[in-house]
Structure 1
Amino acid sequence: MPTFTALTTLRGKEPAEALGEAMEQLDPAPTGVGTFEIEDGSGLWEVGGYFTEEPDAVALALLAAAHGARDFAISELPETDWVAKVKRELAPIRAGRFFLYGSHDADSVPADVEPLLIEAAMAFGTGHHGTTLGCLRALDRLAEAGEVLVPVADIGCGTAVLAMAAARLWPGSVIASDIDPVAVEVAQANARANGLADRLHCIEAAGFDHPDLAAAAPYGLIFANILKAPLVALAPEIAANLRPQGVAILSGILNEQSDEVAAAYVSHGMIVHDREEIGDWTTLCLRKA
């Protein structure tokens, strides 16, 4: 599968973030968008996106002009065998009671853990990123406190590691949804590999736009490890689909964005129960009042 990048620069943090959010609305949409300050004292910020389809050069040119940025530089990256890369570079990781590993590390699983076999393939969510790690730690703390939060939905599930972790803790079915059909296929494969195929219902959906998600509501726990803009947009739906005292575990949030995301959920009747920073990323745990 080819991968394309589109990169530009402009001056100022707020204009860069605005351009990054606008890029998320492109068609074809980027699989990820990042904004980074260039640390050379110039005041310039780099905005970039990754695409699995060739991006629309005209749409990018219009965005650059509208936001006062330089023209985007579009490049096609050489294809990488991501499965082989995962096996070479990703070591097992522990997050509370959970132990995430690839099949090449099956001999290293300790006896006192909840093991989760993750064959990452092309989808996000191996547990090595601070966002996934933060969500697993938040889940572990809730379980340690004796909470049983069912049913569970994992919105934007990627590899479905969060959905599988919840299924290991509590009874019942867990819904794992993603807008990317490749992620849904990977989630189904991971569920089978972990003996959870009969517990995970993997579906392709944008947000809560699926009848199966509506039928299973209200939820005791909703995961959403995505990005700031869709998290803010989903605040009313996530709050509406939680039962009283239900919990939302949210990540994909840069530390400086966490207050804005939290405020969006507080405005819909939720309170911040817990938050954790891991590197540049914040995980929020919010409870419905």
Structure 2
Amino acid sequence: MPPTPSHRASFSIGSEIAAKRVVDVLSEVFFEGDAAVAAFERPDGQWSVALHFADAPDQAWLRELVATSAGNEFADTLAFDTVEAQDWVKASLEDLVPVPAGRFVVHGSHDRDRIAPNKLAIEIEAALAFGTGHHGTTRGCLLLLDHVLKSSRPRNLLDLGTGTGVLGIAAAKALHRAVLASDIDPASVRVAAENAALNEVGNQVRVIRATGFAAPDFGRCGPFDLVLANILANPLRQLAGQMARHLALDGRVILSGLLTHQAPAVIAAYRARGLVPLKHLRIEGWSSLLLRKIW
């Protein structure tokens, strides 16, 4: 059976910096896997930004979104077409290079044989699930995880809002311990479980579908010594109280998915629940936070 075509919206923009900024904004809007967003350099030096959808998008709404994130002149050039799913995924993978983050390297299958043996390789394919490792938030979380593991070996681990499973897989590979991973999106749950198996930690990373902490598994597996949560600023603020209750005393939490200007409000919400900031990374306009529970 031939693959189902995907719906594509694309436009060109002048520089790599502008393209990355627009991709970050659009990725935040479609964070639950409603679209795949990517940018690629063209031979003429321009950058192409493309969004791929399983179903036809609302064109007027999408033009408004591009106008807000990139400007009216780019929204006016937005073009819509369809493309075979296998073609754009293949093209995306060919342009994705390995991403180093401390001891970790996130890569696609096409770079499997190019990763240094002294690195912890995490193979993640491009898909309609958030987190190939190329986003600043994922890299920030991996760098903070590497930092934590230099001085401690947490036993109870949670990857909340796992997406593709990259953070849970990284923790399992580094510590050789069980990791509970959760996501609200059924597609992400499936993709994360498949990626865990692909990375030979399928017996260590258990993926469940859950909204926030609303599942009995959290109570049974906690309190957690380390929680990884790469979500968004508003959900992170709303989860501060529950996060504190499920975190062990002196436990650490790594938070990301927030723009740099959103970090102070998130820090304040967690400080009020007994968590103090230890480290703050800023990558490509995004913040990643490491906090410790002191009471």
Same fold flag (TM > 0.5): yes
What RMSD over aligned residues (CA atoms) do the two structures have, in Å?
Answer: 3.3
SS in 1 for 2:177: coil
The aligned counterpart of 1:228 is 233
SS in 2 for 1:132: helix
**Distance in 1 of aligned mates of 2:226 and 2:80:** 39
Give, as a single letter, the amino acid of the residue that structure 2 aligns with 1:194: N
**Distance in 1 of aligned mates of 2:285 and 2:97:** 21
On the 8 A contact 2:33/2:130 being kept in 1, the answer is no
The aligned counterpart of 2:181 is 176
**Distance in 1 of aligned mates of 2:272 and 2:234:** 16
The runs of 5 or more residues in structure 1 that have no matched partner are 6-19, 33-48, 61-72
SS in 1 for 2:239: helix
On the 8 A contact 1:120/1:186 being kept in 2, the answer is no
Given candidates 99, 106, 110, the residue that maps to 1:104 is 110
**1:2 shift after superposition:** 5.7
**1:171 shift after superposition:** 3.8
Matches within 5 A, 1:26-45: 31=34
On the 8 A contact 1:30/1:50 being kept in 2, the answer is no
Give, as a single letter, the amino acid of the residue that structure 1 aligns with 2:94: R
The aligned counterpart of 2:136 is 130
The runs of 5 or more residues in structure 2 that have no matched partner are 10-24, 36-50, 62-75
Distance 1:52 1:103, change over 3 A: closer
Distance 1:89 1:55, change over 3 A: closer
On the 8 A contact 1:2/1:76 being kept in 2, the answer is no
On the 8 A contact 1:30/1:51 being kept in 2, the answer is no
On the 8 A contact 2:6/2:52 being kept in 1, the answer is no
* Deviation larger for 166-175 or 234-243: 166-175
**1:169 shift after superposition:** 1.9
Tell me the number of residue pairs that the alignment of Structure 1 and Structure 2 aligns. 244
Distance 1:53 1:273, change over 3 A: farther
The aligned counterpart of 1:211 is 216
**1:112 shift after superposition:** 1.1
Matches within 5 A, 1:238-253: 238-253=243-258
Give, as a single letter, the amino acid of the residue that structure 2 aligns with 1:159: T
TM-score where L is the length of structure 2: 0.73
Distance 1:233 1:174, change over 3 A: same
The aligned counterpart of 1:114 is 120
The aligned counterpart of 1:139 is 145
On the 8 A contact 1:126/1:159 being kept in 2, the answer is yes
Determine whether 1:154 maps to 2:182: no
Matches within 5 A, 1:259-278: 259-278=264-283
Determine whether 1:280 maps to 2:281: no
SS in 1 for 2:187: helix
SS in 2 for 1:153: strand
TM-score where L is the length of structure 1: 0.74
* Alignment deviations for residues 35-86 of structure 1 (CA, whole Å, 9 cap, x no partner): xxxxxxxxxxxxxx998667899xx9xxxxxxxxxxxx9x977455453133
